[in-house]
Each structure stands twice: as structure tokens, then as C-alpha cells.
Chain A
Amino acid sequence: MSAPTLDRPAAPDEAALQAQFDATIAADHRIEPRDWMPEAYRKGLVRQIAQHAHSEIIGMQPEGDWLLAAPSLRRKAILLAKVQDEAGHGMYLYSAAETLGADRADLTDKLIERKQKYSSIFNYPTLTYADVGVIGWLVDGAAICNQVPLCRSSYGPYARAMIRVCKEESFHQRQGYELLMTMMRGTDGQRAMVQDAVDRWWWPSLMMFGPPDDDSPNSAQSMAWGVKRHSNDELRQRFVDMTVPQAAVLGVTLPDPELALDPDTGRYRFGAIDWTEFKQVLAGNGPCNDERIARRRAARDDNAWVTEAATAYAGKHA
């Protein structure tokens, strides 16, 4: 018995589809999951969104290390809710990647096998409770600078995910800053903790914007496609300009002797970033790379029997 013949529409002309895609991008409209898109656009987006989702999930760990030890019940509640938000961001972003044909379990495997990256900032350890505040202020602050423009990303599901993510990140940033303000009003020991944490996180935060524009391999195409809206260096400069006055209000010193206001531009000049360190951490040689991945691997492998059981149960009771 032969399969029934279907009347298929004529294969659409690839050039016409490309033209329509280009027109959508040019008009600053959104590409949606069912729209035709160039394969490289799809692949690039999956790479970017997955990396972003992985960053949220790995990012639960450095602060999560203080969940059991938070020094007041109010701080514990704030931190638990924040780490929970990060899990939510991860899930939201994996879902956005799934609209492009990716699969969350497969992306998780790629993370664990180190075939996909996550933000290298999360490979630094959190040594004191001030790190929780500084991560909120600087790391989430840098993330916001990176992510707010993504709310206008050309890919609809990603743009919409980023609106919610940015709202919550802004809240986290405010909470982090509030913790630091409280600590700066506290004991000498607390003030020293805050300054020490700022000293350790400042440069890694600047590295969060990625390599300088003349050394950023994926940037040009991402900008042309409207996936990315501003260059790494431009976003980094905005972050510095925004953060320096906040540091003054807080009463901490940023660890850069070259940091100075340029009277001509009204922007802050800052010292040279040590990209050797960035590349080392990115290459997997940061202080906590192994630990971060090991924890995700353990969560997957030690609990594989749970997932199998849930699948078996669903099959029995379908």
C-alpha cells in the first residue's frame, strides 16, 4: 500500500524568503519562531541564548554557596528568592532556545561536556557575604547593561524573555546595593569585607562585556542581524560611567588608579584590562570552573533515576 499523495505547495523561493527576512530586520520588526530564517541566524541565536541560559544556571552557585549561612533570616529569604529567580531565568531562556529547535536536555549535556560556554564571571569564588552584595551590584549591573538592549533583539521570544529577566535583574541589583549600604554603615569588619569584595570583582565585571571590539569574532554579524545592538566596548563604557558615582555614594574605592573623568567627553577613562586572565578563565582555568561543572554533572547523574521514574510513571498513567 502506497502512501497517499499530498498536494504540496511549490517550494518557496529561498531568495524571496531571504529578502523577506532582510526586510523584517531592516524595518526593526521581530522574527518569530515560525518565520523563515537563515540557518546561521538560527544557530547563532541558539548559541547565544544557550550560553545565556547556562550563565543563569551556573550563576546560581556562587551566591547559592551562602544560602545556608546567610547572616540574618531576612537576608536568607532575599537570597533564596534571588537564586530561585535565576533558575527561572534559565528555564525561560532554555524555552526560548527550544523555539529554535534546540532541546534543553541536549543543551545541558553540552554545558556539562564543556561544548557550550557560560559567563566566566561565575568561575570566581564568593569568599565573604559582601560578595553576595557585590555580585548584585556589579555583576547583575553589568548583566543589565548587556541585556537591556536585548529587549529589542530581532528574535521575538528572546526579546520578550529579556524584558522579564531585566526587570528581575534590576531588582537584584538594587538588593545587592542595599546590602552593601547596610554593611558600609556597620562595623569596620563589614566595611573591610565590602572593599575587599569590590577589589576582587571590579575587573572581572568589566570583562563581562566580552573582548574589545577589534577582537570580538561574533559581534559584527550579530549586530547586522539585530541580535546584538551595541558593541562590547560601548556597553562597557556605559557600565563604568554608571558605576563610578554609585561607588562614591557607597564609599568604596574602585581598584583602578587610572580611573578618571575625561572633562572633554564627560565619560570615565579606565585602565587596561588584563585579557590574559579573561582568556585563562574562559579556557577553563579559572578558580572554580571544575567545581561549577561538577555540580551540574552531579545534579544530572545522581538524579537520573528520578527522571527515569517520572517518565515511567507518566507512561503508566497516560
Chain B
Amino acid sequence: MHEETVYDALDHAHGGEGQWAFGTGFDEPLAGVDTTVPTGIDPADLGAYCLMLGDDALVLCQRLTQWVTAAPELEEEVALANCGLDLLGQARLLLARAGSVGVLGRSRALATDSIPDEDALAYFRDVDEFRNSLLVEAPNGDFGQTVVRLLVASTWRLALFARLRESRDPVLAAIAAKGVPELTYHRDHAARWVLRLGDGTPESHRRSQAGVDAVWPLLADLFTATDVETRLTAAGVAVDPADVRDEVRDVLTLVLERATLTVPAWPAEQPSRGRAGQHGPELTALLADLQGLAREHPAATW
């Protein structure tokens, strides 16, 4: 018998290399990072902006996660979980950044001190304090609608993040730089599915066109700057969402036309309801799932 214990055997099977990939100590996302806010930047604005971008990522992560154990192929379960994990990583960094500049809303009063900022913000804000766009909170629909929404969301976010790499806030710039290759993959993955479905069978064409028609009105929520974005754009920190409109429209048009789908008329843009905390009942339900357990045990650490 080769094995003294199963763990020795495991080690033996790998020529003695370490059995555990990582230790069990974990730092908060921004541990070791200089989080000083550069002069001339309003910390409250910066925090509010990080919440917008962080909430978009967190909410879309929840939506993508709903496909795990329900996707068309195992490869797709892995791929959508990957996109979700990337977005979760972005959310954690952005919420931690918001916390580092003191933007915690009412959450700090509800969460105990031992809960990190990212969790205080994710779990202890109410629905009207969430600043995500309406695009990401809409329910998944079928797989066709899901990949259309992922295409729109990743195209839009990639356009923003590519520009945010030049942000005057070095933390935000670093988060954006990390996110760009991730979002490039998400956009590519979604675009390939839109091509397959649009130009696949009559049924997949019909379903993906229905997905486009369902998602398209949500574009109205994306391109009008809030006051916070206007001030931060002037300060060299943020991107005016209107500046990425043409790029987003060009990319989406290119993909949809190649997929033999009809590009609907551009919706009438309006001030963002999501950024103002005006959400649909779907977000309330999503947050009930997300926050329920943490709120049941407010004194617990996990």
C-alpha cells in the first residue's frame, strides 16, 4: 500500500508539491493600496460614482449566477459563472473604494463594525440606495435575451472602463485597467452567441430578436450624465456616459446586423432612473435573495 494517509498519497501523486493552493488568511480587496483621494476630487462624488459602477457589476453578477445549473451546456455554465466572478471581483473593489472614501449611506448604522465595507454596502443598503442602471436589474428572460443583455452591458461597460484607465483617481484607474480584459472577453463571448442565435434556426432568430426588442428600451437609462458624473468628468475622474454612446451604438449595430437581426430605433434617452435609486420590483426581489441571510445575522462574520 502506497498511502499512509490520503493526504500523503495526494502529495505523493504530485511529486511533493504543496497540497493547498492558498492559505486561509484573506485581506480585504484594497488591502495595501494607497487610497488617498487626489486633491481637487470630492470624496462624496467619487464614492457615489464607485457605487454606480459597483452596483452594476454586483447586480449583473446575481443575474448571471441564476444560470448556474440551468444553462444550455456545461461549458456555458462555466463561462457565465466566469463572467459573474469577474463582475463580482469588480464590484468588491468598487464598493471597497466607495467605503474607503466614507460613502457608506445608511449601511454602516445597520452593519456591525466587523463587517467589511464591501459587505456593509452590498448587504445593508435598501433598494432605493442602489445606484445600478435598469439595464442590469431586468430579469434574464431566456438564454437569447440573456446574451443580448450581456452584449449590451459588456459593450457599454468596456467603453467606460477603457476610458477610466485614465482616471485621475489612481484606484479607479487601476480597477478599470484590471476590468478591461475581463469585459473584452464578456463582450466577445456574448457577441458570438448573438451571432449563433440570430443566424441559427428560425426559432433562435425569433427568440434573439425578441431579446433585442426587450433589452433595447433599457438603453434609455444609460447615457445621460447625473450631476455627480458631470462634476467628476470635469475633474478628470469619471467618463461622461454620453461620450461612449456612439461607440456602443456602432458595436451593437455591427453585431446585430452580422447576426441578421433588426436593430430597433434608438430609444429616447432620459435621465437615469437607476442612478437615481428608482428601481423596479425585480431589484427588490433580487436584493431579498442577496441580502436575506446576512441581514438575519447582523452580528455574524462569515
A binds B: yes
Interface string of B180-204 (1 = CB under 8 A from A): 0000000000000001110111011
Nearest Cβ on chain B to A12's Cβ, whole angstroms: 34
Given contacts A76-B88, A238-B5, A308-B204, contact A84 B82 (CB under 8 A): yes
Given A312-B201, A313-B199, decide whether A83 and B13 contact each other with a Cβ distance below 8 A. Answer: no
Kindly state whether residue B219 has any CB partner on chain A within 8 Å.
no
Which listed segment binds A: B66-74, B131-139, B227-235? B66-74
Task: Tell whether B167 is near chain A: CB-to-CB under 8 Å.
Answer: no
Q: Is B21 an interface residue (CB 8 A)?
A: yes
With A148-B13, A310-B200, A316-B199 in contact, do A80 and B88 touch (Cβ < 8 Å)?
A: yes
Contacts A68-B290, A305-B207, A308-B201 given; indicate if A178 touches B69 (C-beta within 8 A).
Answer: no
Contact B78 A87 (CB under 8 A): yes
Contacts of B3 in A (CB 8 A): 148-149
Using A68-B66, A148-B6, A189-B297 as known contacts, say yes or no to A73 and B122 having CB atoms under 8 A apart: yes
For B65, the chain A residues whose CB sits under 8 A away are 67-68, 80
B289→A309 contact, CB < 8 A: no
Measured between beta carbons, the chain A residues less than 8 angstroms from B73 are 307
Contact flag A170-B19 (CB < 8 Å), given A303-B71, A305-B207: yes
**In the complex, A266 has a CB within 8 A of chain B:** no
> Is B302 at the interface (CB under 8 A from chain A)?
yes
- Indicate if A252 sits at the interface (CB-CB under 8 A): no
Asked if A187 and B74 make an inter-chain contact with CB atoms under 8 angstroms apart, the answer reads: no
Chain B interface, >50% SS class: helix
Report yes or no: A167 in contact with B14, Cβ–Cβ below 8 A: yes
A313 touches B195 (CB 8 A): yes
Complex Cα distance, B289 from A299, in Å, reads: 22
Q: Is the interface of A mostly helix, strand, loop or mixed?
A: helix
Does chain B have a CB within 8 A of A279?
no
Q: B283-299: contact bitstring with A at CB < 8 Å (1 yes, 0 no)?
A: 00000011011100101
- Indicate with 1 or 0, residue by residue over A185-198, a CB within 8 angstroms of chain B CB atoms: 11101100000000
A309 pairs with B13, CB closer than 8 A = no
B interface residues with partner A (beta carbon < 8 Å) = 2-3, 5-7, 9-10, 13-14, 19-22, 24, 26, 58, 62, 65-66, 68-75, 77-78, 81-82, 84-85, 88-89, 91-92, 95, 115-116, 118-119, 122-123, 142-144, 195-197, 199-201, 203-204, 207, 289-290, 292-294, 297, 299-302
**Which 9 residue pairs across A and B have the least CB separation, nearest first?**
A309-B200, A309-B204, A303-B72, A306-B72, A313-B196, A68-B289, A84-B81, A71-B294, A72-B302
Q: Please name 13 further chain A to chain B contacts, defined as beta carbons within 8 Å, in addition to the given A182-B301, A307-B72, sorted by A numbering.
A: A68-B62, A68-B66, A71-B293, A72-B116, A72-B119, A83-B69, A148-B3, A163-B14, A170-B19, A238-B5, A299-B70, A299-B72, A307-B73
